Structure 1
Amino acid sequence: MRRTIGIMLAAGALCLAAGAGAERVQSVFDGGDPFVLVDGDTVWIYPTGGKGLEGWSSTDLVHWRNHGPLLRKSDITWIDDDGAPSHGLWAPDMLAANGRYYFYYSVGPQHPTPSRLGVATCEGPAGPCTDSGRPLLTGGDGFEAIDPMVFADARSGKTYLYAGGSAGSTLRVFVLTPDLMRIDHEVTVAQPPHFTEGAFMHERDGIYYLSYSHGRWNDATYSVHYATAPSPTGPWTYRGVILKTDAAYKGPGHHSFFRDPRDGGWRIAYHRWEGQDGPGPYRGHRRIAIQKISYAADGAIEPISMDD
């Protein structure tokens, strides 16, 4: 049986120290859209939710330390330049490169103005972070600029930005400049089957895996599909569904793959709805889960059976 680690805000969580501003250590926490960074022997999760975009760390995938917000709306000087009445921050991504850390994030909603992506530089995986002072990418013309995923390809030396989804359900791929703060050029890619949002790229044994969410984020249609390719930009070979709603857990999606630094094994972090009935829409809080994955001899990802 595969082991799943559920992560949700819980009463009675352990605290490192009493007093204001103390970091707290918890076995579980709420959130959505988890991005995972492995830094040495520490696993970091950056979810949507909290008071800004927060960082959580663990060395055992059981006890998680909240380091507080790396970035808040008030830290982004351009966030109100479009005149929209309100904005949210979601679906962050952290990349370690060039001796520093780069924090990518979404600004929305899409309406009445286009959504945008931003980027900040950070002194460490827990921040502090300084925003670039300008949008990295702006949506429009049927494209929603959300859900950044940045992948450094060791084979080509290029760093790619994958973005897009929801409104238009369009995936776009860009090559970043060497300073990782601007877009150099766009790469035309085919649209993968059943793509909605939340693209993620990882490479294993020379195979590139593009995985992504399909369906609506707050109902039972939300699921994770994937395709493989000989390069980070395709051509895609659709391989099927690896996470989908079952009797106990609903709407799994928006995920990250990573290797556990303790044993090198591959894991997936994703969010799902728990304690919900019916097809949705669901309300409340999504829970983050981490689960072991395995690959078949031909490189296919084995379907994941969720448990608690």
Structure 2
Amino acid sequence: MPNQLPEPAGDGLVFPESPGEFKLYDTSILELESEWGVHNAHDPGIIKTDQGYYVFSTDVRVGGEPVPGVMVRKSTDLIHWEWVQYALPGIPQVAMEWANASNLWAPDVVKADGKYRMYYSASSFGSRQSLIGLQTSASIEGPWTDEGVVLATREEDALNAIDANVLTDAGGRMWMVYGSFFGGIHITELDRKSGKPKQEGFGQLLAIRDPATEDGAVEGPYIVYNEQFKKYYLFVSYDSLFEDYNVRVARSDSITGPYTDAQGRDMKDSRHFPQHEVGVKVLGGYRFGQDPGWIAPGHNSVLNNDGTYYMVHHARGGQDKRWPYLHIRKILWTGDGWPVVSPERYAGETEQNIPPALIPGLWERLLHDPAVDGQVEPQPLEIHEHGGLTGAYGAGKWTFDGQRTLTLVWNDIPKGEGRFEKVQLLPAWDWEEKRQTLVFTGLNEAGISSWGKKSSSS
């Protein structure tokens, strides 16, 4: 395979193989739903079943009007995705009457008491007249039975009933976190038998930004519990869906919060200035090399696959942002319990000890600076053989723990402002250059996500 990193003899390091050709911006399949694969995927919610992995997503379509009914895809490897069908024959009557929706948004599917429950959203852009509805089925591929309204909001309400994520906490209680754009993110406890709220009202506030504008949006919540760290992690998406969407994360000891970021800032603190600093930005728009890259990645779900975690999200093509695609990324965890995501889409890689000889060379490095809107540009980084660094931040030094953790220290950055960062190395597939490579991901001391990819010219 051309341009791949050499594998030192006898070290046992395994790089992922080529996942095959994934053609982007393919106008030949605009009317061929069976060929969409990762195309036309938006707001993806993932579930693992005995039949494989399924993603349910918002009804969208490049080059035409979407068909309402909730898109369903499946995979056996989290890499190659097969179109299944629309889950529903259209918009449920109760949703049509309440929200007058033209498509269905942001479905989330869970299994409880032997049945699958699909929570879907019905609304229209910019409206608070919204509804979260429930459908149930004995089979992941349906047919689905309408179970009515879970939660509804009116135009005069302060918040918006969309983007539901349903989960069970460490004690066995069931919850729904929801809410987008208007009024922040809320959580309410569900009755396990019915799958609907135990109490009237909208529940408890978890996160909010002010004012509610495209530049101040917080939406698409998803909570996952990590047993190792005994923490709940709240993922949300910030900013404009079409331009500078990005994923933030905060954590809590309790499912109902408070959720704080790596600097201790509360996700409910709408008075913090500047507001873009609140929440750890783990993913935003980016590009490597001369590749067009990706714009506005966001609205993620998380798969806990027997203790290995993956982020599932959509992203818009940097060449033409009308095209949304399904992305799967491996989540790694810092030593102090923060999730960070791979710079490359998943291609079957596994966490392994990295031979030190593979680290020195030329890299592309980028920071997901929360102050930067849109795409982040890469900067050159050279890791020298005898512990030195040179790059956009001048000179520094590096150390390696002999397994997977690389520590970078920059000489001329003040302490506390990003001088020090710990990143984890991972063998990966370079989707931009179609080769095997090494990547790293981690956080610096300011709580900013740092990515690196070893260059083909190393």
TM range (shorter): 0.7 to 0.9
AA aligned opposite 1:152:
T
Give the aligned partner of residue 337 of structure 2. Answer: 299
Give the aligned partner of residue 196 of structure 1. Answer: 218
Deviates more, 1:41-50 or 1:207-216: 41-50
Could you list the runs of 5+ residues in structure 1 that have no partner in the other structure? 14-22
- Aligned CA distance change for structure 1 residues 190 and 162 (closer, same or farther; 3 Å): closer
Deviates more, 1:298-307 or 1:23-32: 23-32
CA RMSD, 1 decimal = 3.0
AA aligned opposite 1:268:
M
1:254-278 Cα distance to aligned partner (Å, 9 max, x none): 01111346xx52111111111347x
1:107-151 Cα distance to aligned partner (Å, 9 max, x none): 01166661111001112111111111x321111312111101001
Partners of 2:241 and 2:99 in 1: how far apart? 27
Q: Which of 157, 168, 176 matches 1:152?
A: 168
Partners of 2:37 and 2:96 in 1: how far apart? 36
Q: Which of 325, 330, 334 matches 1:287?
A: 325
1:231-260 Cα distance to aligned partner (Å, 9 max, x none): 211121213110011132110100111134
Partners of 1:102 and 1:7 in 2: how far apart? 33
CA shift, 1:63, in A, is 2.8
- Aligned CA distance change for structure 1 residues 125 and 39 (closer, same or farther; 3 Å): same
Give the aligned partner of residue 222 of structure 1. Answer: 245
- Mapping for residues 162-181 of structure 1, pairs under 5 Å: 162-168=177-183, 170-181=184-195
Identity value in percent: 25
Aligned to 2:54, the other structure's residue is in SS state strand
Contact kept, 8 Å, 1:46 with 1:54, in 2: the verdict is yes
1:194-231 Cα distance to aligned partner (Å, 9 max, x none): 76100001111221111110011111x21000011112
- Mapping for residues 34-183 of structure 1, pairs under 5 Å: 34-40=44-50, 42-49=52-59, 51=67, 52-74=69-91, 76-82=92-98, 84=100, 86-109=101-124, 114-132=129-147, 134-140=148-154, 141-153=157-169, 155-168=170-183, 170-183=184-197
CA shift, 1:99, in A, is 0.5
AA aligned opposite 1:246:
Y
Give the aligned partner of residue 318 of structure 2. Answer: 275
Contact kept, 8 Å, 1:10 with 1:28, in 2: the verdict is no
Q: Which of 295, 308, 311 matches 1:265?
A: 308
Partners of 1:9 and 1:36 in 2: how far apart? 24
CA shift, 1:12, in A, is 8.2
TM-score (norm 2): 0.57
Aligned to 1:212, the other structure's residue is in SS state strand
Partners of 2:59 and 2:163 in 1: how far apart? 14
Aligned to 1:30, the other structure's residue is in SS state coil
1:43-97 Cα distance to aligned partner (Å, 9 max, x none): 11111126320221111123322221112434x121232384x432010000011
Contact kept, 8 Å, 1:175 with 1:184, in 2: the verdict is yes
Q: Which has the larger radius of gyration?
A: 2
Give the aligned partner of residue 237 of structure 1. Answer: 260
1:146-201 Cα distance to aligned partner (Å, 9 max, x none): 10100112x22211011111133x11111111224321125423426776100001
Aligned to 1:298, the other structure's residue is in SS state coil
Aligned to 1:63, the other structure's residue is in SS state coil
Aligned residues: 287
Give the aligned partner of residue 246 of structure 1. Answer: 286
Q: Which of 300, 323, 326 matches 1:255?
A: 300
Contact kept, 8 Å, 2:58 with 2:70, in 1: the verdict is yes
Aligned to 1:302, the other structure's residue is in SS state strand
CA shift, 1:293, in A, is 1.5
Give the aligned partner of residue 450 of structure 2. Answer: none
- Aligned CA distance change for structure 1 residues 246 and 105 (closer, same or farther; 3 Å): same
Deviates more, 1:118-127 or 1:61-70: 61-70
Partners of 2:240 and 2:284 in 1: how far apart? 12
- Aligned CA distance change for structure 1 residues 90 and 8 (closer, same or farther; 3 Å): farther
Aligned to 2:299, the other structure's residue is in SS state strand
TM-score (norm 1): 0.83
